């Protein structure tokens, strides 16, 4: 037998990429709620802003996914719990390099979809602003709204889990009975589509969620087609 025989990796409850993502997100959130505005405004610097905003920087397409709402502990708690719950299985299955690549691509893809939704909103506001129908405060307030959170990347992870293990049963509150992962994924996408269309001012980046999920599914389909012998 060849000495380079591939053996299955043991399952790690907290694999390295997941562990480091939890640490980075946690440390940045602590920085946001302590010194985030005293030394440097982390949200202005790292959160995602519309391309016409004075606060926009290209690196924000990556850095936004490592910040969370400093006024809501549940924002980071939910995202990090979902990342660990579904991401650990995928990282153990794929390995660290593939998992990290997938996570970042989903987060960046979510940012581009969200930017497209912002562009659509701003295009509707511009003629109203130029005619004096809305105030400068409202227009520039919309232009400079920061977007932050790992939700788009995490939705990509959940989509990958549902694609790979479609019949796994999940208990998602407040639903009182287990639901298969594939149906939960379809339900979440439908929820975000409806939320994004009907309530664009809710403070939730619904289209970033949808974008992360769709990018994740498309990326998995491409990987599957290219390498069916070593992928799933």
- Ramachandran quadrant class, 98 (left: phi over 0; alpha: psi -120 to 50; beta: rest): alpha
Check pLDDT > 50 for residue 232: no
Q: What is the dihedral sign for C-alpha 34, 35, 37, 42? A: negative
In this predicted model, what pLDDT tens digit does every residue of 31-70 receive, in sequence order? 999 886 666 688 999 999 999 899 999 999 999 999 999 9
> According to the model, what pLDDT value does residue 175 have?
75
Three state DSSP letters for 40-67: CCHHHHHCECCCCCCCCCCCHHHHHHHC
In this predicted model, what pLDDT tens digit does every residue of 171-206 receive, in sequence order? 877 778 889 999 999 999 999 999 888 865 557 888
Q: How far is CA 2 from CA 6, 8, 231, in A?
A: 9, 15, 22
> According to the model, what pLDDT value does residue 200 have?
56
pLDDT above 70 coverage of the chain, percent: 88
> According to the model, what pLDDT value does residue 69 have?
92
Give the Cα separation of 68 and 45 in Å (integer): 13
> According to the model, what pLDDT value does residue 202 have?
59
**154 or 129: whose pLDDT is higher?**
154
**227 or 92: whose pLDDT is higher?**
92
Q: Rounded to 5 degrees, what angle do the CA atoms 183, 113, 203 make?
A: 80
Check pLDDT > 70 for residue 169: yes
Check pLDDT > 60 for residue 228: no
The domain made up of 16-226 has a fold known as Rhomboid-like fold (1.20.1540)
In this predicted model, what pLDDT tens digit does every residue of 78-119 receive, in sequence order? 999 999 999 999 999 999 999 999 999 999 999 999 999 989
* pTM across the whole model: 0.88
Closest by Cα among 114, 138, 196, 188 to 158 = 188
Which of 4-8, 150-154, 157-161 is least confident? 4-8
Provide φ and ψ at 184, rounded to 5°. -65, -40
How far is Cα of residue 171 from the mean position of the Cα atoms in its chain?
21
**141 or 65: whose pLDDT is higher?**
65
Give the Cα separation of 26 and 9 in Å (integer): 28
Give the Cα separation of 231 and 222 in Å (integer): 11
**109 or 120: whose pLDDT is higher?**
109
Check pLDDT > 50 for residue 20: yes
Q: Parse the chain into domains and list their residue ranges.
A: 16-226
> According to the model, what pLDDT value does residue 141 have?
76
Q: Rounded to 5 degrees, what angle do the CA atoms 120, 42, 142 make?
A: 25
């Amino acid at each position: 037998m060849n000495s380079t025989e591939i053996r299955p990796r043991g399952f790690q409850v907290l694999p390295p990429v997941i562990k480091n993502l939890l640490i980075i997100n946690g440390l940045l959130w602590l920085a946001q709620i302590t010194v985030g505005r005293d030394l440097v405004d982390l949200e202005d610097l790292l959160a995602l802003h519309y391309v016409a905003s004075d606060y926009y920087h290209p690196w924000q397409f990556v850095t936004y996914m490592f910040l969370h709402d400093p006024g809501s502990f549940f924002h980071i708690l939910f995202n990090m719990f979902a990342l660990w719950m579904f991401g650990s299985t995928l990282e153990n299955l794929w390995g660290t390099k593939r998992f990290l690549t997938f996570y970042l691509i989903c987060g960046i893809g979510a940012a581009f979809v969200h930017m497209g939704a912002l562009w659509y909103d701003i295009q509707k506001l511009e003629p109203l602003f130029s005619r004096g129908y809305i105030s400068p405060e409202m227009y520039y307030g919309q232009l400079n709204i920061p977007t932050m959170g790992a939700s788009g990347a995490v939705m990509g992870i959940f989509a990958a889990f549902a694609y790979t293990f479609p019949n796994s049963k999940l208990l998602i509150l407040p639903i009182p009975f287990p639901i298969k992962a594939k149906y939960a994924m379809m339900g979440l996408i439908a929820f975000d589509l409806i939320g994004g269309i009907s309530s664009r001012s809710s403070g939730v980046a619904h289209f970033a969620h949808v974008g992360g999920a769709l990018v994740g599914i498309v990326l998995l389909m491409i990987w599957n087609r290219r390498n069916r012998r070593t992928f799933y």
